[in-house]
Amino acid sequence: MHDFEFLRFVNIGQYLPTGSVIHRLDARARLLAGFLLLVAITAAPHWTGLVIALGVLLVGLVVARIPVGYALKGLLPPLPFIVFLAVLQVLFGPRSAAVTPLWAWGPASISTVSLLNGALLVLRFVALILALSWLSFCISTTEIVRALDALLAPLTKIGLPTHAFVLMVQVTLRFLPLLALEAERIAKSQASRGAEWGTGRGGLLRRARQALPLLVPLFLTGLQRAENLALAMQARGYQGGKGRTTMTPLEFRLADAAALALAVMLAIVVICV
C-alpha cells in the first residue's frame, strides 16, 4: 500500500528539531560525540560494550525527545541485509581447529563461536544504525556542514582543500532527499506505464531489469540538477572557500565541553569493558 514511500521509515538523514538539551549543544560537540560513539561501537570487542552502547543510545533518544518507536522502525528496512550478513558470518566465518563444529556441510559449518559472532554482528549493526539515526535526528545538515567546516579548518594550513570537501558533503546531503523523491516520482511514472513497481509481483531478475527505466532518468536528472546547482553557486560568487566568511560563527561553551567529555568517557567504557 505504501510501496512508493521509499523514505517513510528510512530515518537516517531525517532531522527532527525537537529543541531538546542535546539540540541546543554546539554543533561541533554533537558531531564529535556522535562520531566517538560510532567509532566505539565499531571497535567494541565484546557484547557487553555493545549492550552498554545500546543503553546509552536509548537514553540519548529519550533525552533528545525522539519517539523511540519511530527510531526503532528505522531498523526495519536494513534488517534483511543484516540477517543475511549474519547468516553468512555464521556459516562461512573463520573456523578454528580448536572448536568442533556443531554441524558442517562442505565449506559451511556452524559452531558455538560462529553463532556468537553472528549475534555480535547483528548487535553491532543495530547499534550502528541507531547511532546514525540518533545523530541525524539531533543535528541538521547545515549544522553538520558548519561543524565540519570549523573542525577541518586547521587542515587548510597544510594545503588540504577542506572547503571543497565540506561543500561536497553539503550538496550531497541536500540532494539525497531530492533524489529519493525523484526516484519515487520516476518509479510511479514507470508503474503507470505497466512496470511492476508497487504491485508486489515479479521475480528478482525481472525486478533487476526494471531498475534500468528507473536508473537512467534518475542519473540524468541528478546530473542536470548538479549542473544547475553548480551554475547557481557560481552565479552567487562561490569560488571555493577562499575569502569566505560566515554569518553565524560557532560558540563553544562549558556545557559543550562537558557533553564532549561525557561522550569520550562513554566511548572508552564501550570499547574497554
Task: Work out how close the CB of 120 gets to another protein at its nearest, in angstroms, rounded to a whole number.
Answer: 30
Q: Which is nearer to another protein, 98 or 247 (CB)?
A: 247
Taking the C-alpha atoms of residue 26 and residue 138, their distance in angstroms, rounded to an integer, is: 11
For 37-106, the DSSP string reads HHHHHHH--SHHHHHHHHHHHHHHHHHTT--HHHHHHTTTTTHHHHHHHHHHHHHHS---TTSPPSEEET
- Rounded to the nearest whole angstrom, what is the least distance from the CB of residue 29 to another protein in the complex? 19
Q: Which is nearer to another protein, 21 or 231 (CB)?
A: 231
Smallest distance from another protein to CB 190, Å: 7
Lookup: cell for 93: 566465518
User: What residue ranges bind another protein (CB under 8 A)?
Assistant: 1-2, 4-5, 7-9, 11, 14-16, 67, 70, 73, 140-142, 145, 170-171, 173-174, 177-178, 185-186, 188-195, 198-199, 212-213, 216-217, 220-221, 224-225, 228-229, 231-239, 243-249
In whole angstroms, how far apart are CA 198 and each of 132, 203, 216?
A: 29, 13, 19
Identity of the residue, 40 or 167, whose beta carbon is nearer to another protein in the bound complex: 167
The distance of closest approach from Cβ of residue 103 to another protein in the complex, given in angstroms and rounded to an integer, is 41
Using the minimum distance from each CB to another protein, give the nearer residue, 244 or 253: 244
User: What is the C-alpha to C-alpha distance for residues 92 and 122, in angstroms, rounded to an integer?
Assistant: 16
Distance CA 251, CA 150 (A): 11
In terms of CB distance, is 79 or 262 closer to another protein?
79
Q: What is the C-alpha to C-alpha distance for residues 201 and 204, in angstroms, rounded to an integer?
A: 10
Q: Which residue has the cell 549493526?
A: 125
Residue with Cβ nearer another protein (83 or 173): 173
Q: What minimum distance in Å lies between the beta carbon of 9 and another protein? A: 7
Query: Shortest approach of another protein to residue 47 CB, angstroms?
Result: 31
Nearest to 75 by CA among 125, 120, 37: 125
